[in-house]
Amino acid sequence: RASTGRHSWTSAVAVAASLFIFGFEINKKNYFLKNNSGGKQMMLSKAVGNRFRDGITYPFRKAGGILPRWIRGSRAHLTARAQAVPNGFSLLKTEEIDEYSAKATIFEHKKTGAQILSMEKDDDNKVFGVAFRTPVEDSMGIPHILEHSVLCGSRKYTTKSPFIQLQKSSLKTFLNAMTYPDRTLYPVASMNDKDFYNLVDVYLDSVLHPRAIGDPNVMAQEGWHYELNDAESPLSIKGVVYNEMKGVYSSPDSLHNYLTFQALFPDVETYKERSGGDPEKIPSLTYEKFREFHGKYYHPSNARFFFYGNDPVEKRLEILEQYLNDFEPLPEVRGRSEVPTQSLKSSPYSVHQTVPVAKGQEANKNTATVAWLVSEERLPENEQLAWQVIDQLLIGNTAAKLRKALSDSGLGSAVIGGGMSTGLKQPYYSIGLKGMASKEDSQKVLDLVLEILTDAAENGFEESALDAALNRVEFGLREFDTGSSQRGLSFMFSAMSDWNYDQDPIQGFKFEEDLAQLKDNMAKDPNYLKSLIKTRLLDNNHRVLVTSSPDSSLEEKKLNELKEKLQNVKSGMSDEEIQEVMDQTKKLTALQAAPDKPEDIAKIPRLTLKDLDKEAKEIPFEEITLEGGVRGLTHSLATNGIVYADLVMDISGIDTSLLDVLNLFTRIASGATGTTDKSRVDLRHYIDTHTGGVSCSWTTFSPINRKDGEVVVQEPDKVSIKLEMTGKAVAEKSDELFQLFSEMLYDCKLDDQERVIQMLKESKSGMESGLVGGGNRYAGTRLASMRHIQGLISEKSGGLSYYASICRLLKEAETDFPSLQKKLQKVKDAIRSADPTSYLINLTADEKTLEKSLSSAQKFTATLPGTPAEGAGDPRDIRSGESLEKFKESLGKDVKDEGVIIPTQVNYIGLGGRLYQPGERVPGSASVISNFLRTAYLWDKVRVIGGAYGAGFSLNNRFGTFAFTSYRDPNVKETVENYKKAAEFLINEDIPDSEVERAIIGTISGMDYPQTPRVKGGASLSRYLTGYNHEDAQRYRDEVLGTSIEDFRDFGRRLQKALDEKSATDKPAIVAFGSKSSLSNSLEEGLSLDLIDAFAQKEEVKMT
As a whole number of angstroms, the distance between CA 1000 and CA 932 comes to: 9
- Evaluate whether 242 touches 601 at the Cβ level (below 8 Å): no
CA distances from 741 to 653, 659, 746, 1062 (A): 22, 22, 8, 51
- Could you tell me which residues come within 8 angstroms of residue 318 by beta carbon, excluding any fewer than 6 positions away? 86
1073: left (phi over 0), alpha (psi -120 to 50) or beta: beta
As a whole number of angstroms, the distance between CA 225 and CA 232 comes to: 18
- Evaluate whether 144 touches 241 at the Cβ level (below 8 Å): yes
Q: Is 222 a catalytic residue?
A: yes
**CA 651 to the chain's CA centroid:** 30
Q: Crossing angle for the helix pair 441-459 and 381-394, nearest 10 degrees?
A: 120
Catalytic residue of the set 147, 273, 555, 795: 147
Question: Exposed, middle or buried, 440 (CB in 10 Å: 0-12/13-18/19+)?
Answer: exposed
As a whole number of angstroms, the distance between CA 256 and CA 230 comes to: 39
**Strand duo 840-845 + 693-701: pairing:** unpaired
- Evaluate whether 921 touches 958 at the Cβ level (below 8 Å): no
- Could you tell me which residues come within 8 angstroms of residue 332 by beta carbon, excluding any fewer than 6 positions away? none
- Evaluate whether 85 touches 532 at the Cβ level (below 8 Å): no
Phi/psi for 288 (5° steps) reads -65, -45
Phi/psi for 816 (5° steps) reads -150, 65
Helix spans in 401-440 (H): 401-408
- Evaluate whether 242 touches 206 at the Cβ level (below 8 Å): no
State the DSSP code for 1008: -
* Helix, strand, coil percentages for the chain (3-state, nearest 5): 45, 20, 35
As a whole number of angstroms, the distance between CA 17 and CA 323 comes to: 33
- Evaluate whether 170 touches 190 at the Cβ level (below 8 Å): yes
As a whole number of angstroms, the distance between CA 509 and CA 104 comes to: 10
CA distances from 940 to 151, 723, 784, 952 (A): 15, 42, 26, 12
How many of the other CB atoms lie within 10 Å of CB of 985?
A: 20
- Evaluate whether 547 touches 479 at the Cβ level (below 8 Å): no
Sign for the CA dihedral angle at 774, 775, 778, 783 comes to negative
C-alpha angle 124-130-132 in degrees, rounded to nearest 5:
160
- Of the candidates 931, 951, 927, the one whose C-alpha atom is nearest the C-alpha of residue 941 is 951
Catalytic residue of the set 95, 108, 120, 222: 222
**Strand duo 961-967 + 950-956: pairing:** antiparallel
- Evaluate whether 646 touches 722 at the Cβ level (below 8 Å): no
CA distances from 1045 to 169, 471, 728, 985, 989 (A): 16, 57, 47, 13, 10
Instruction: Find the helix or strand (DSSP H, E) in which 456 lies.
Output: helix 441-459
**Strand duo 178-179 + 183-190: pairing:** antiparallel
- Evaluate whether 225 touches 237 at the Cβ level (below 8 Å): yes
Residues with catalytic roles: 147, 222
